[in-house]
């Protein structure tokens, strides 16, 4: 059996290897960073244009009121669930293998939420009035509408974002102290000294730290479930054919975990190479995430089929028409592609020989996320194209390059944030990897003594 | 800001129209449209453009589905084998149905669309942030979004046309949702006049622009609470009730109703305020 981590890595070496990632990554890092900035530039240009001229340049119309913005918004919200899954849920389940990879998964959570939040702004017709959606104190007693799922959305996302930032930060404190102690003096030393909050690693500090971390983890799990259920409510609570489906919340949560796990595989492979983390992000760990992803893929497939079945056998002809429209209309290529990428491609993960095959897994993980992005688009767009009655049908609308540009740029924005984070903060949890190595060593020692006793 | 504060305001903010709430008194504005009288001439739509300062967006934007016609005539060709120009068509004048339990109202995150006490679904342009959720949830798709800043878009009201802008109606800026208001500016004037004279609005005191322009008088508009109004009488005669999601009508011996009145998507329970009178088909005569 492969080991998650080798038991003979010295603690000093762990420090050294991880700290190195703050100093000299491979050249590829700078290439990625440059491409990301260029992509963000494209999106900023598109947004400035749209802001000045009006939403019309996105080529939305009546009935296509929402477009790629909302689809991509759901995509990024979904992406954020993996971090919580890995760090909070697996933490409570004592799955040790999460330790070398949970830090970057958590960073992913935070940054994908930040990206998603931008889409709300990009989508609004009057983004300069966005604060109307917040229940802020005002003399005229004007409230937002607490009945609106969009308002719940705003609240859920704010809560989730602030909690996940807190979680990411608290979990990083012991590591920040290590970085502080090993940094040459300069602005970075000052930054880490401030962020480490005077951590010395005393017994008392460790005890408080554990309790705090566990508490936030417990707090975060229901939040993660609720946030995507609420995003699902945006659709399920509406009255439109193809949206008004009871199973949407669990379907969305499964989809969220699915795309999140797929993204973890992608980033795992990139980080492993770029920051030379081969010793910590081992193939054995990759295998475990792949298996987890496969399981979630099957859950998603099941819920997806449930959705089709409940629409097909339901009495709502309008919903059924939308489903038929998805499978045969102008969106058919994307719809079939989504089903292929979401349900067929992950079957590769079933085979052991592919589970640790890096090029195959990289390609698979990208395809899975393509499928999941298409899934969100196929939830949003076909309903708009094929409403309740013929006048509201519009099968020809196609998002303009402005929309595509902003969606494209959002990937750059996420990558930019993520890459900067990995360069500034330790993206592998040093103290938890040490724990892991320690436990591993204890286990081998026990095994060895047990073996001796038998003789 | 306290929880009780929030709850107190909340009850003022939202009503459960029309089934669970105080009845409309003294006004509930409603319409009935006789499709048998409608010739599809589009005069109502033109009148609406003039009355409500609707931007004329031009061919290209119209083709993009970005037209702003609050009142539109939907045309459905008869499919009985005849070719154009002999082919017949049906016309459906469609505007905001002023639903009592409006799907658009509950979903607006900022509460920019609300129900007025006299049963009109209002839109507060200044409050709207342009999330377009209302339109997404509208089964009739009668809400129109300002995709561009029409007041400054040069071809919308060319030089002389801006002279005919109605001073009683605001010109909407970019990024807000708008829709048929049942000519609320006219209704307000009529209500104020009546109030000054110490009475309520009589039937015929107020006409909507589309009603006024209709050459065949297909559109009637009035107060559904007022038992003397034409609209009330029409709804009554057609046995269409505001707070029902399925109408119990008298049946003939074949088990079918001979009454022509119906509301669109009643079964979705938005409780629309517009009743249509079915066209008498040639085949049925």
Contact B6 A149 (CB under 8 A): no
Give the span between the Cα atoms of A312 and A307, in whole angstroms.
8
Give the pLDDT confidence of A350-384 residue by residue, as tens digits: 998 898 889 999 999 999 999 999 999 999 999 99
Provide the mean pLDDT of chain B: 88
- B:44-103 residues touching chain A, CB 8 A cutoff: 61, 64-67, 72, 74, 76, 92, 94, 103
Write the burial class of residue B100 (CB in 10 Å: 0-12 exposed, 13-18 middle, 19+ buried).
buried
Contact A238 B107 (CB under 8 A): yes
- A151: contact with B, CB 8 A cutoff: yes
Question: With 50 as the cut, is the pLDDT of residue B1 above it?
Answer: no
For residue B252, give the 3-state DSSP assignment: coil
Residues 6+ apart with CB under 8 A from A305: none
Mutate to test the interface with B, among A121, A124, A125 (most CBs of B within 10 A): A125
- B271: contact with A, CB 8 A cutoff: no
- A400: contact with B, CB 8 A cutoff: no
Q: A63 preceded by cis ω (within 30°)?
A: yes
- A:366-385 residues touching chain B, CB 8 A cutoff: 384
Question: With 80 as the cut, is the pLDDT of residue B2 above it?
Answer: no
Which pLDDT belongs to residue A137?
A: 82
Question: With 90 as the cut, is the pLDDT of residue B237 above it?
Answer: yes
Which CA distances in Å does B194 have to A151, A179, B203?
A: 40, 78, 11
Tokens of A59: 């080529």
A338 to chain B, closest Cα gap in Å:
23
Question: With 70 as the cut, is the pLDDT of residue B277 above it?
Answer: yes
Question: With 90 as the cut, is the pLDDT of residue B96 above it?
Answer: yes
A303 to chain B, closest Cα gap in Å:
24
List the single residue in A62, A124, A238 with the smallest CB-CB distance to B131: A124
Residues 6+ apart with CB under 8 A from A74: A116, A231, A252, A376, A379, A380
Contact A143 B148 (CB under 8 A): no
Give the span between the Cα atoms of A147 and B11, in whole angstroms.
12
Q: pTM of the prediction?
A: 0.92
Give the span between the Cα atoms of B107 and B268, in whole angstroms.
16
Contact A384 B136 (CB under 8 A): yes
List the single residue in A142, A148, A387 with the smallest CB-CB distance to B141: A387
For residue B93, give the 3-state DSSP assignment: strand
For residue B262, give the 3-state DSSP assignment: strand
Chain A residues with CB under 8 Å of B92 CB are 391
- B144: contact with A, CB 8 A cutoff: yes
Which pLDDT belongs to residue A98?
A: 82
Q: What average pLDDT values come out for chain A (455 residues) when binned by 10 residues?
A: 71 81 82 94 95 91 92 92 79 81 88 92 93 84 85 90 91 90 84 90 91 90 88 92 90 92 90 84 89 93 93 90 93 95 93 90 94 94 92 90 95 93 87 84 78 56
Give the span between the Cα atoms of A183 and A213, in whole angstroms.
25
- B175: contact with A, CB 8 A cutoff: yes
Contact A63 B146 (CB under 8 A): no
Which pLDDT belongs to residue B16?
A: 59
Provide the mean pLDDT of chain A: 89
Chain A residues with CB under 8 Å of B13 CB are 143, 145
Give the pLDDT confidence of B117-165 residue by residue, as tens digits: 888 999 999 999 999 999 999 999 999 999 999 888 777 888 888 888 9
Between B271 and A13, the higher pLDDT residue: B271
For residue B77, give the 3-state DSSP assignment: strand
Q: Which fold has domain B30-280?
A: Alpha-Beta Plaits (3.30.70)
- Among A260, A428, A270, A283, smallest CA distance to A362 is for A270
Give the span between the Cα atoms of A104 and A33, in whole angstroms.
17
Strands B274-277 and B261-262: antiparallel
- A154: contact with B, CB 8 A cutoff: yes
Q: B85 preceded by cis ω (within 30°)?
A: yes
A423 to chain B, closest Cα gap in Å:
37
- B:215-234 residues touching chain A, CB 8 A cutoff: none
């Amino acid at each position: 059996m492969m080991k998650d981590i080798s038991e003979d890595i010295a603690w000093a070496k762990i420090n050294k290897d991880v700290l190195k990632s703050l100093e000299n990554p491979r050249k590829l890092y700078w290439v990625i960073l440059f491409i990301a900035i260029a992509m963000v530039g494209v999106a900023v240009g598109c947004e400035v244009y749209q802001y000045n001229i009006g939403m019309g340049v996105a080529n939305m119309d009546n009935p296509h009121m929402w477009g790629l913005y909302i689809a991509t918004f759901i995509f990024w919200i979904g992406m954020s669930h993996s971090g919580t899954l890995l760090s909070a849920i697996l933490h409570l389940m004592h799955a040790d293998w999460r330790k070398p990879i949970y830090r970057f998964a958590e960073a992913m959570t935070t940054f994908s939420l930040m990206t998603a939040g931008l889409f709300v702004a990009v989508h609004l017709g009057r983004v300069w009035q966005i604060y109307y959606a917040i229940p802020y104190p005002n003399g005229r007693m004007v409230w937002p509408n607490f009945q609106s799922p969009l308002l719940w959305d705003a609240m859920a996302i704010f809560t989730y974002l602030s909690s996940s930032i807190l979680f990411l930060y608290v979990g990083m404190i012991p590591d920040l102290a290590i970085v502080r102690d090993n940094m040459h003096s300069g602005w970075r030393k000052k930054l880490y000294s401030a962020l480490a909050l005077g951590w010395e690693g005393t017994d008392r500090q460790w005890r408080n730290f554990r309790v705090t971390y566990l508490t936030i983890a417990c707090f975060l799990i229901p939040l993660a479930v609720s946030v995507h259920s609420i995003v699902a409510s945006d659709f399920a609570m509406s009255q439109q054919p193809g949206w008004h489906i009871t199973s949407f919340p669990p379907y969305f949560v499964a989809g969220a975990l699915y795309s999140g796990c797929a993204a973890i595989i992608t980033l795992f492979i990139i980080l492993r190479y770029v920051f030379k983390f081969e010793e910590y992000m081992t193939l054995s760990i990759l295998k475990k995430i792949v298996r987890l992803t496969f399981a979630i893929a099957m859950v998603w497939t099941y819920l997806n089929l449930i959705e089709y079945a409940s629409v097909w056998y339901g009495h709502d002809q309008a919903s059924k028409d939308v489903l038929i429209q998805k499978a045969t209309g102008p969106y058919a290529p994307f719809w079939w592609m989504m089903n292929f990428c979401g349900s067929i491609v992950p079957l590769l993960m079933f085979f052991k020989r592919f589970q640790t095959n890096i090029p195959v897994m990289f390609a698979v993980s990208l395809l899975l996320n393509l499928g999941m992005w298409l899934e969100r688009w196929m939830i949003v767009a076909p309903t708009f194209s094929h409403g309740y009655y013929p006048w509201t049908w519009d099968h020809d609308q196609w998002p303009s390059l402005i929309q595509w540009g902003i969606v494209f740029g959002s990937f750059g924005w996420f990558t930019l944030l993520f890459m900067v984070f990995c360069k500034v903060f330790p993206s592998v949890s040093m103290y938890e990897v040490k724990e892991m190595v320690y436990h591993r060593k204890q286990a081998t020692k026990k095994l060895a003594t047990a073996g001796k006793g038998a003789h | 800001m306290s929880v009780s504060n929030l709850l107190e305001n909340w009850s003022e903010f939202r009503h459960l129209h029309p089934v669970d709430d105080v009845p409309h008194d003294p006004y509930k504005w409603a319409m009935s449209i006789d499709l048998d009288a409608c010739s599809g001439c589009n005069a109502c739509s033109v009148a609406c453009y003039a009355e409500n300062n609707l931007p004329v967006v031009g061919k290209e934007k119209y083709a993009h589905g970005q037209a702003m016609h609050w009142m539109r005539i939907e045309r459905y060709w008869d499919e009985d084998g005849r070719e154009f120009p002999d082919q017949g068509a049906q016309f459906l004048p469609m505007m905001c149905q002023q639903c009592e339990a409006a799907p658009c109202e509950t979903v607006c995150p900022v509460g920019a669309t609300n129900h007025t006490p006299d049963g009109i679904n209002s839109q507060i342009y200044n409050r709207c942030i342009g999330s377009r959720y209302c339109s997404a949830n509208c089964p009739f798709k009668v809400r129109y979004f300002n995709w561009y800043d029409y007041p400054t878009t040069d071809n919308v009201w060319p030089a002389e046309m801006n002279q005919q802008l109605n001073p009683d109606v605001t010109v909407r800026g970019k990024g807000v949702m708008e829709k048929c208001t049942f000519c609320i500016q006219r209704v307000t004037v009529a209500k104020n006049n009546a109030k000054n004279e110490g009475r309520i609005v009589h039937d015929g005191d107020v006409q909507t622009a589309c009603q006024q322009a209709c050459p065949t008088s297909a559109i009637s508009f009035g107060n559904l609470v007022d038992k003397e109004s034409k609209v009330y009488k029409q709804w009554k005669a057609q046995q269409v009730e505001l707070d029902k999601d399925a109408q119990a009508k008298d049946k003939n011996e074949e088990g079918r109703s001979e009454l022509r009145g119906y509301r669109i998507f009643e079964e979705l329970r938005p409780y629309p305020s517009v009743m249509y009178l079915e066209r008498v088909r040639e085949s049925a005569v």
